[in-house]
Amino acid sequence: MRVVTGISVLVLGAGGIGHAVVTSLETGIDRIDPFKDMKNRPRAGYGTNLLLVGTDGRDRITREEKKKYRLGGVPCNCTDTVMLVHLSADKERASIVSLPRDSYAMIPEHKDRSTGRIRAAHPVKLNAAYAEGGPGLTVRTIEHMTGIKIDHYLEVDFTSFMKTVDTLGGVQICTARPLKDSYTGLVLPAGTHDLDGGQALQYVRSRHIDGAADLGRMQRQQKFLASLIKQATRSGVLLNPVKFRDVASTMLRSVRADKGFGTEQMLELGRAMRGFSPASSEFASVPMGNVAYPVKGVGITVRWDERKSKKLFQALRDDRPLAPVRPEQPKDVKKVGVAPRQIRVQVYNGTSKDGLGKAVDDALHATGFNTTRAPLNGESQDLKHTLITYDPRWDLSAKSLAVALPGAELRAVRGQGPTMKVTAGPDFEKVQRVRAEETNRGEFGTVTGDQEVCP
């Protein structure tokens, strides 16, 4: 479950909304004190650190929703998602680090909330800290593991996630291959999809799609969050008091937050981050050392790479970006989502002009497209515009090809297969140079939000 994502969007929008509106929303938050009686905490660094936790609570989900979205299991009363979010001191960057729920963790001595007895420090999977000691023990454990002082704690559940996505009007997700998970009921063909709240929940919960398990799920969760930020910033909801109140009130009804995260904090952060966009966010996961580390009495855990993880958390403490600097694109080259070399193209001449098919094939090939090098005459030679036909399963490739052929008409043809068909019309002038931006994740495997959203 990845319900923590909507909270980030609310923080970004708070600054554009009136004080009275935000104050009225605060009554919906369930207040807790996860920092009570905490001692020997890490020293504060620069910027603000939020611990975003998603639990598997499903008490308020309807019977129909449980059946439709495969939510009928018994909740474990543990954290299904853990994200550490660092907001830079200048409020121009958000660094979001996913912590695997199966991470090897050493829980400090504490009072077990179910038995009331004092338990000595012992190894567990990270998500068990919540089951044994709630938010307070979760914060203590993560501070001990990362050396980062947590400033605020936010916790949400399944229901608020679905309703928030629906209130925003859904989220667009792109996938290069089919995704299917029998556990969550997720079925997504390759291509672009507009997901409602329930479908989005399936997407971010799925961990049985391939061998990547939780690690693959964290990457999908990051892609989802980038898309959610894009949807919120482009839809105008963050600047419209009525829309913002609807989204925020839906989300906050099931939020638990520390006592220090109130109206003033939301307004301050929101005002400072009005220019926030997907490119302002960066996503990383804790560097892994051993993803199948056995622990007696606990099971298989994920052991972090000690050297690399220390370096990552030091960068957060120092308020430094995690993503590598990207070189500037030449101004005459357009960015596309699929590399031209991966797109197979058959060119046809749709006019009576001799040699047009060859000219288009040569130009596309020179730009990097995988053309057949054998242009043909089209069935029709009275086209008004250049036409691209494509199988909807390869719509991302078709969109990338269309950028290279400005003004061309896109037409979906089911069953056509992976080869794009370009029929050159009399309006053809030139091929626009395009390239897919190579994703350089750097030493921490970091990408920025604009690299994760649909092109």
- Tokens read off for 256: 């638990």
Under CATH, which number does the domain 334-436 receive?
3.30.70
The CA–CA distances, whole Å, from 424 to 75, 339, 419, 434 equal 58, 22, 16, 18
Average pLDDT over residues 16-26: 58
Q: What are the beta bridge partners of residue 100?
A: none
pLDDT score for 90? 84
pLDDT score for 5? 46
Q: Closest Cα partner for 359 from 409, 410, 406, 428? A: 428
Amino acid identity for residue 404 in this structure: A
Is 346 in a helix, a strand, or coil? strand
Cα torsion 9, 12, 14, 15 to 10°: value is: -170
* pLDDT over threshold 90, residue 307: yes
In whole angstroms, what is the distance from residue 145 CA to residue 104 CA?
Answer: 10
In whole angstroms, what is the distance from residue 86 CA to residue 317 CA?
Answer: 9
In whole angstroms, what is the distance from residue 46 CA to residue 129 CA?
Answer: 27
* pLDDT over threshold 70, residue 69: no
**CATH 3.40.630.190 domain range(s) in the chain:** 5-326+443-451
pLDDT band at 13; cut points 50, 70, 90: low
In whole angstroms, what is the distance from residue 369 CA to residue 115 CA?
Answer: 65
**How many Cβ atoms are within 10 Å of 41's Cβ, its own excluded?**
14
pLDDT-above-90 percentage for the chain: 33
User: Which of 57-71, 144-158, 159-173, 204-218 has the lowest average pLDDT?
Assistant: 57-71
In whole angstroms, what is the distance from residue 191 CA to residue 176 CA?
Answer: 6
In whole angstroms, what is the distance from residue 177 CA to residue 193 CA?
Answer: 12
Higher pLDDT, 371 or 280: 371
pLDDT score for 2? 40
Is 96 in a helix, a strand, or coil? strand
* Residue 96 CA from chain centroid, whole number: 10
Amino acid identity for residue 38 in this structure: M
Q: Closest Cα partner for 173 from 136, 139, 199, 206? A: 199
In whole angstroms, what is the distance from residue 161 CA to residue 81 CA?
Answer: 13
Give the HSE-up count for residue 130: Cα atoms under 13 Å, Cβ half-sphere: 22
Q: Is the dihedral of CA 77, 107, 150, 95 positive or negative?
A: negative
Phi then psi for residue 325, to 5 deg, are -70, 130
> What residues contact 373, with CB distance under 8 A and at least 6 apart?
361, 365
Helices 158-167, 5-14: crossing angle, 10 deg rounding: 50
Higher pLDDT, 69 or 194: 194
pLDDT in tens, 401-422: 999 999 999 999 999 988 999 9
pLDDT score for 278? 63
* pLDDT over threshold 70, residue 455: no
Residue 135 burial (10 A CB sphere; 0-12, 13-18, 19+)? buried
Higher pLDDT, 40 or 337: 40
pLDDT score for 149? 96
Under CATH, which number does the domain 5-326+443-451 receive?
3.40.630.190
Higher pLDDT, 229 or 398: 398
pLDDT score for 323? 80
Contact criterion met (CB below 8 Å) for 223 and 173: yes
In whole angstroms, what is the distance from residue 157 CA to residue 136 CA?
Answer: 18
* pLDDT over threshold 90, residue 327: no
pLDDT score for 174? 82
In whole angstroms, what is the distance from residue 82 CA to residue 364 CA?
Answer: 45
Q: What are the beta bridge partners of residue 183?
A: none
Q: Is the dihedral of CA 301, 306, 311, 317 positive or negative?
A: positive
Number of residues in the chain: 455
pLDDT-above-70 percentage for the chain: 73
Top-confidence range, 8-12, 82-86, 258-262, 401-405:
401-405
Q: Which residue's structure tokens are 């058959």?
A: 346
Average pLDDT across the chain, whole number = 80
> What residues contact 245, with CB distance under 8 A and at least 6 apart?
17, 21, 24, 25
**CATH 3.30.70 domain range(s) in the chain:** 334-436
pLDDT in tens, 197-244: 888 888 887 777 765 566 677 778 777 777 777 776 666 666 666 666
Q: Which residue's structure tokens are 């449980």?
A: 66
Is 244 in a helix, a strand, or coil? helix
Average pLDDT over residues 192-200: 86
pLDDT band at 1; cut points 50, 70, 90: very low
DSSP-assigned letters across all residues of 306-321? HHHHHHHHHHHHTT--
